[in-house]
């Protein structure tokens, strides 16, 4: 491949690239009204959920809102206070989102 050849990076499903994390955030909201916690996003492989959501809202046309904060108990029974819960209000207006497609 020469330097003039431009390729589109399609992140692997286990990738830590931001684009792959955006895809996982988008796919996590698989039905209207679903609330997803910071802990749930981390289980999906999203490293910094609040950061990725902020970027998606500001740069990619999403409207994902923090709608609640609760104490959540992890799998070992430890409490984690003030865990954020997010809801997808609206995806970008384009028919297909570049984020959801992996572009």
Q: Model confidence at 9, in pLDDT bands (50, 70, 90)?
A: very low
| Per-residue confidence (pLDDT) for residue 100, from 0 to 100 | 58
| Residue that is written with structure tokens 């491949």 in the block | 1
pTM, full prediction: 0.77
Using one digit for the tens of pLDDT, what is the confidence trace for 19-29?
999 999 999 99
DSSP 3-state assignment of 102?
A: coil
**CA-to-CA distance for 40 and 1, rounded, in angstroms?**
39
| Per-residue confidence (pLDDT) for residue 17, from 0 to 100 | 86
Answer with the residue of higher pLDDT: 71 or 103: 71
The secondary element (H helix, E strand) that includes residue 83 is strand 79-90
| Per-residue confidence (pLDDT) for residue 102, from 0 to 100 | 58
Percent with pLDDT over 90 in the chain: 70
Q: Model confidence at 15, in pLDDT bands (50, 70, 90)?
A: confident
Answer with the residue of higher pLDDT: 15 or 88: 88
């Amino acid at each position: 491949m020469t330097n003039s050849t431009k390729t589109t990076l399609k992140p692997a499903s286990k990738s830590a690239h931001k684009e792959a994390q955006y895809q996982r955030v988008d796919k996590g909201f698989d039905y209207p009204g679903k609330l997803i916690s910071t802990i749930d996003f981390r289980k999906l492989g999203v490293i910094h959920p609040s950061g990725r959501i902020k970027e998606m809202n500001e740069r990619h046309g999403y409207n994902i809102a923090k709608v609640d904060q609760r104490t959540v108990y992890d799998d070992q029974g430890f409490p984690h206070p003030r865990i954020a819960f997010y809801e997808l209000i609206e995806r970008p207006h384009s028919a297909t989102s570049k984020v959801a497609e992996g572009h």
